[in-house]
Structure 1
Amino acid sequence: MPKPVGAITRGTTGANRLRRADRWLAAVHGRVLRAADRPLVVDLGYGASHTTTLELFERLRAIRPDVEVVGIEIDPARVALARPYEREGLSFRLGGFELPVARPPDVVRAFNVLRQYGEADAWHYWDLLTGRLAPGGVLVEGTCSETGHRAVWVGLDGSGPRTLTFSARFDAFERPSDLADRLPKTLIHRNVPGERVHAFLKDFDHAWAVSAPYGAHGLRQRWLASVGVLSARWPVPRTPPLGGRARWRLGELTLPWDALG
């Protein structure tokens, strides 16, 4: 068997840590699973516990009851610990960025995997993973805090990155730019004056500040007002599945990648 591509991560994980990303994936890209003949989803680098892979499996089965989910880990010990939890449609195997699965996956979720790599490596692995996707498939790659209360992720297809999503519990930050430490590796070093992502986060902080009076009605209302202010200067999608109040009320904001990348 060829050596898995990549390096072992810290493996930190926990129940519901990726709930925000899973919820977005189901809402925005559930159509990919519904359209597939034999939907296959890969959870790459699930960590020291099988928990988040099992949660992904259960959430996606509500969309497509015959979806197959494969958890892939580069650490043999982690794979051995997860295998007792296999069931019909859910399996675990040893591997890395080469994605050792029988057919191209329709969806790949890779969270907290690229954090330890450099920017050039991150771009390389994005290309490698999107090149493994089935036609019309998607890659969701991101980073979240230990609890999952703050997260940023990128949605990619065969042509590259398409969307960037910020997501947070309303009590998990003081200002929106606190999410900067969760930016993808391809952007985090560009959060400096003169770069678009820096300008966006500065504007987001300003929008949050001027929307402070709405906080009297709760932080959700302040977030909604902030998104409204941002929409005047940034191409915030206003309609489903990427935008609209139903998504914003969750503490979520998605932008086209081209606006920031």
Structure 2
Amino acid sequence: MASRDRPVGTVTRGTTAPNRLRRCDRWIAGPQGWRLRRSPTPPVVVDLGYGASPVTAVELHDRLRRVRPDVQVVGIEIEPARVRDAAPLEREGLTFRRGGFEVPLDGGARPTVVRAFNVLRQYAEGDVPAAWARVQERLAPDGILVDGTCDEIGRRAAWVTVERDGPVSLTLSLRLGGLQRPSDIAERLPKSLIHRNVPGEPVHGFLTDLDRAWERSAASSSWGARQRFLATVEQLRDTWPLRGGPARWRLGEVTVDWAAVAPLALSP
């Protein structure tokens, strides 16, 4: 087990920006909010690898304390200077510390959510299972790891939800205004999938079907991109194991079971 003096992982580029992770935050506070509310003690949420600026951790705390006022958000970074720079922003319910995938927390606390965005993107695909496993060991019974990637201003985001027993779903979240086709998200797929968007792989099939449904729903664009996306996702309900419903689809978000899109080499 790694100590705090030897964090597990490597330093990321650290690129970040205000409001960049709003789509994932909205999902954690929404469909996943029950995990926070169910915790018998103040739930711990980790922003793992928050980058050169702690702004995403600060925003996460602001958003989640509306769901659970006593939530404890911990920003964890492997680069000591980033932790020092973040320290002045600490407040009740928000702290920063050095660490990596070992997720060091006081008193052996187990996090309810570990959000790792744009972190594993800089690793090799083969490194992903071990990184997931390291975090899974630390999760609370109802806990999740959210391994995601997004563009520089958060208009396109994708993330895999990983529970203690393994990955359970893939979520795509898109800004619908100006969207040309849903598969534009391909370049922002998480590391476990980004190299699998090729014919024959399940995730390629899912994105292809999304694009075809988007084209068939063109007439709905008369009522706006939101209605077009609703019609698009509705067409896939019978052929893909989707989670959630229209309330999430209206946000440009769609979630599918991991088993349906998992890389063939990693499928059970």
The structure 2 residue matched to 1:212, chosen from 214, 218, 222, is 218
1:174 and 2:202 matched:
no
**Correspondence for 1:245:** 246
Note the residue ranges of structure 2 that are not aligned, 5 or more in a row.
Answer: 263-268
**Further displaced range: 145-154 or 181-190:** 181-190
2:231 to 225, 231, 234: 225
Q: Deviations over 1:229-258 (max 9, x none)?
A: 122321223xxxxx1111110000001111
Of residues 50, 53, 60 in structure 1, which corresponds to 2:64?
60
Give CA deviations for 1:93-125 in whole Å, capped at 9, x if unaligned: 111111111211111111000001111101110
Counterpart amino acid of residue 250 in structure 1: L
Deviation per CA, 1:130-179, whole angstroms, max 9, x where unpaired? Answer: 11101111111100000000000011110110011000101253111110
Identity %: 59
The one-letter code of the counterpart of 1:225 is A
Matches within 5 A, 1:1-261: 1-36=4-39, 37-102=41-106, 103-171=109-177, 173-237=179-243, 243-261=244-262
Cα distance per residue 1:30-85 (max 9 Å; x no partner): 11111112311111000111111001001110111111110001111111111000
The residue aligned with 2:265 is none
Name the CA distance, whole Å, in 1 between partners of 2:178 and 2:17. 17
1:160 and 1:96 mapped to 2: Cα distance? 20
Aligned-pair Cα RMSD in Å: 1.1
- Is the CA contact (8 Å cut-off) linking 1:211 and 1:225 kept in structure 2? yes
Question: 1: distance between equivalents of 2:178 and 2:51?
Answer: 24
Q: Secondary structure at the match of 2:32?
A: helix
Q: Is the 8 A contact 1:70 1:91 kept in 2?
A: yes
Per-residue CA deviations over 1:178-199 (Å, capped at 9, x if unaligned) read 1011112111221111111111
Distance 1:168 1:42 in 2: 24
Structure 1 range deviating more: 68-77 or 166-175: 166-175
TM superposition score normalised by structure 2: 0.93
Runs of 4+ in structure 1 over 2 Å off: none
TM-score normalised by length of structure 1: 0.95
